[in-house]
Chain A
Amino acid sequence: MSKITYREALNQAMCQEMERDNRVFLMGEEVAEYNGAYKVSQGMLDKFGPSRVIDTPITELGFAGLGVGAAMAGLRPIIEFMTWNFAILAADQIVNAAAKMKYMTGGQYDCPMVFRGAGGAAARVSSQHSQAFENWYANIPGLKVVMPSNPADAKGLLAASIRDNDTVIFIENEINYGDIGEVPEGEYIIPLGKADIKRVGKDITLIAHSRMTGYALLAAEELAKQGIDAEVVDPRTIRPLDEATILASVAKTNRAVVIEEGWRFAGIGAEISARIMEKAFDDLDAPVARVTGKDVPMPYAANLENYALPSVAEIVEAARVTCNRA
């Protein structure tokens, strides 16, 4: 184990997989000579050369589609979007091509590739640069959606995503890039589709992914002071969803709050709470609560931005209500 940042962990995963498999290449805006807009690909050009670490023009639809073709032809592309906000330009290739290629070709063509980049709100960048799109992609058969919440998960999940034979939407979080944590050295793989219990508790289940996992853990500390022992479950893979771990936790605690940074309407919380209602109705002692981003485009002003995002206090409050302690 060594203490490294989330961005270094991602870098390690890519280097590890590129050393292991020469079909893997990294392509995107500023990934090579600039060392990555967020420095995730620091040093990779020097290590692997310009044929495998490739700067693109600002042309998301084009290079996403190029990646799809390269994957169909047998390579294993990692396509970096500077942020997922820009990936909307490439939605046709992700949704209409990559996600459907295996099905539409009767299994003849696979599309083994990773689309990755920063998602969620950054800091003070307003409406067009602060969005959570995991629910968009999680809705689509043929895609896997992966979102690490800490450095170790970032490394293990990205390596697994690169090895996966399907198209993986890998959504990082810009705010988390500088987070430091213990990360296993050498080859490290976390299987996709496996949730992780980040804190064991018995009174309530807090289900949160990506940056919100950290918020849920802070909320759990606060709840502990108030005599509520919260369990924090991080799905890590949004699709396919490790429903079993979530349901087992709810069976133990009988209460749940789902937390997400994105909008409430048809969000991940809506899906998870529906699953709990469908499959664990008899386990519930209270309705499942949701804490989400406010239903507004992200504003710039610091106080408004702060207000638009979920807060630890809101999670604590929702948990207290769910535990009849409000």
Chain B
Amino acid sequence: MFYSLIFSITKVALAAFLDARHDSPSLNHLGDSMAGKKKQQDTAGMTQEGRFYSAERLHAMHDMMLYIRRFEEKAGQMYGLKKIGGFCHLCNGQEAVCVGMEEAAEPTDYMMTSYRDHGHILARGTDGVAVMAELLGREGGVVGGKGGSMHMFDVEKNFAGGNGIVGEQVPIGTGFAFASKYRDDKRVSITIMGDGGVNQGAVYESFNMAALWKLPVVFVIENNQYAMGTSLIRASAETHLYKRGISFKVPGIQVDGMDVLEVERKMAEAIEHARSGKGPMIVEMMTYRYRGHSMSDPATYRTRDEVDEWRSGRDPIVRLQKQMIEAGLATEAEFKQKDKDIKKEVVAVAKAAEAQPEPDLSKLWDDILSDEVPNAYPYPRQVG
């Protein structure tokens, strides 16, 4: 009973976000802007840079960003209590990238990233309980407790990780785009990396092939200015990362990654570029992580002033709240209530996840091979 109640609350918030995406006329980025204009007349909302956002959709985007923020805070707390083990990379501050990007994508588009993946999989619509259960190493985790924080996957949501080796997901994402072109199914691969990952050689091998073969991939660089503890200027000769594709004729744009609406707009353009057969595009998202690289990182390599400047001056959630209040689409009291509700929801999510058992020991032997070979060493389910 208790469980199902929690699930239903969680699902409501997620469903609102996902439904808003499906119903939204502005999601129709394969053409038809007329539909958007028509809807504008009879729906409350606001227009930015000529793009209309319904109130419902704005609320959904806001709620998902806030949900990710509170979820990550909860994860940080659970880590402090030693309930989450290993490496844990939080995305506080980067929520607009997760949500704006998802907002621009189709659910059938592929998405994959590195190990800072909680926000992205939540934005994709994966159940928060399953994500939290994975963090806790429980049976009902998204990958059954085999991966933990760094390896979130959801094949039904077309979310392909969750990859732990910096830059590894970039050729893989290019491969998803290859498959899309091979089958001509018009799906775009949204392949995300950080400002650290972008220095890996595999990235340039991928840029080259993607451009050569006009693969439908959007390479997203989440530039949060620090690769672990190394600032961008100490690691990159060219710090304008959107220019990194120039030698490969991959066009790039820079986006304010603290503005969910700008993220949505620019991503929609990039996705349309890829989907229409023009090949890859690079989108550099200027963003910032409020927390350290991982839970063991006190982030002494940056000043408090710098962090405060981003936190208080450019926070993506506060920014959207202000815009919505100014447009008369919400009130401060409403947002306060939402925050209370979402915090409660996240507490319930954590409780539900924690109540799950650890995976059965027999699971150790599952999922190594698809076609097991009987009577050959190493035997399935046996050592020695």
A interface residues (Cβ-Cβ under 8 A, vs B) = 25, 51, 56-57, 59, 61-75, 92-93, 96-97, 102-110, 112, 141-142, 144, 164-166, 191-194, 237, 239-244, 275, 278
Contact = CB atoms under 8 A, between A and B. Distances in A.
Contact of B155 (A56, A62, A108): A108
Contact of A105 (B151, B369, B373): B151
Given A102-B370, A142-B369, A243-B377, A62 B209 contact: yes
B267 to A, nearest CB: 20
A278 B378 CA distance: 14
A106 B201 CA distance: 29
B208 A59 contact: yes
Given A57-B208, A106-B147, A92 B165 contact: yes
B153 interface: yes
9 contacts: A59-B209, A69-B160, A69-B171, A92-B168, A106-B153, A107-B366, A141-B378, A191-B373, A241-B376
Given A65-B171, A70-B176, A108-B155, A59 B143 contact: no
Given A103-B146, A106-B142, A72 B172 contact: yes
Nearest to B372: A240
A97 B155 contact: no
A47 B241 CA distance: 42
Given A65-B206, A70-B176, A109 B153 contact: yes
The interface size bin for chain B is 35 or more
A25 B155 CA distance: 23
A166 B370 contact: yes
Given A65-B168, A65-B170, A193-B373, A108 B154 contact: yes
Interface stretch (B31-39, B178-186, B302-310, B323-331): B178-186
Contacts of A240: 373, 376-378
B247 interface: no
B213 to A, nearest CB: 8
Contact of A65 (B161, B164, B202): B202
A105 B161 contact: yes
A280 B145 CA distance: 38
Interface string B360-377: 000000111111011111
Contacts of A142: 368-369
A285 B189 CA distance: 60
B172 A68 contact: yes
Interface in B311-360: none
A184 B178 CA distance: 34
Given A104-B162, A242-B375, 17 more contacts: A56-B209, A59-B205, A62-B171, A62-B206, A65-B171, A65-B206, A69-B173, A69-B178, A73-B178, A92-B165, A104-B161, A105-B367, A106-B143, A142-B368, A165-B371, A192-B371, A240-B376
A14 to B, nearest CB: 17
A75 B174 contact: no
B179 A193 contact: no
B251 interface: no
